Amino acid sequence: SDGAGKNSEALLAAYIVRAYTLAMEGGHVEKYFWNEFIRASLYGDSYEGRFGILQGRTYSTPLAARPTFLSMSNMNSKLAGYDYKESFNSGTIHNCRFENANGEKTYVIWSESGENTSVDLGSKMVLKTDIYGNEELLFSENGVYNINAGVEPAYYEPKQADKFEYSYNATSGICSVLGYIDSK
């Protein structure tokens, strides 16, 4: 719950992805269910009233998505068809690798305290997606990325750069990929 000043909605959104990833990492959880879908308006903003991933029916925007709904939906989309394979945890940094039947990989990376880390993702181009679905292309000549791992997990999907047409201007730091422009 994010009620009674216990947690922020953003932290709750991060915790659902972290909890799911850790449950899969342990290898003892086959399915994962969220306890309460709609906020219980009956309890107001108390601890009990702040569960749920949708606003209650009596709020100004009934059944509006809360941040946890967005992070859970994005997690379900990013990890659908992927199985947990292994973790590379170091200190407070968690790096969990998921893989699908085609051998495509997705890494879920976060830190309990917010730290920088260096991760070899084995690809010159990586699609980074935050817990809300915002995407960013990252580039590295050697496949090693310096990542600011925050308390909110992010998804990192190695892409085969040779399948894309792209050009990188070292002076400006601009990389153009199939009509997209992103800074390195």
Give the model's pLDDT for residue 62: 83
Per residue in 56-77, pLDDT tens? Answer: 777 788 888 888 889 999 999 9
Count Cα atoms within 13 angstroms, Cβ side, for 7: 17
Give the model's pLDDT for residue 142: 92
Q: How many helices (H) and strands (E) does the chain have?
A: 2, 11
Give the model's pLDDT for residue 184: 44
CA dist., res. 72 & res. 122, Å (int): 27
* pTM for the structure as a whole: 0.81
Whether 93 shows a pLDDT value over 90: the answer reads yes
Task: Give, to the nearest 10 degrees, the angle between helix 9-26 and helix 67-79.
Answer: 30
Query: Is residue 91 within 8 Å of residue 85, measured between CB atoms?
Result: no
Mean pLDDT across 108-123: 92
Average predicted confidence (pLDDT) for the chain: 84
User: Hunting for tokens 């997606």 — which residue is that?
Assistant: 129
Whether 26 shows a pLDDT value over 70: the answer reads yes
Distances (CA, A) of 147 to 6, 35, 55, 94, 110: 28, 33, 34, 12, 9
Give the model's pLDDT for residue 177: 66
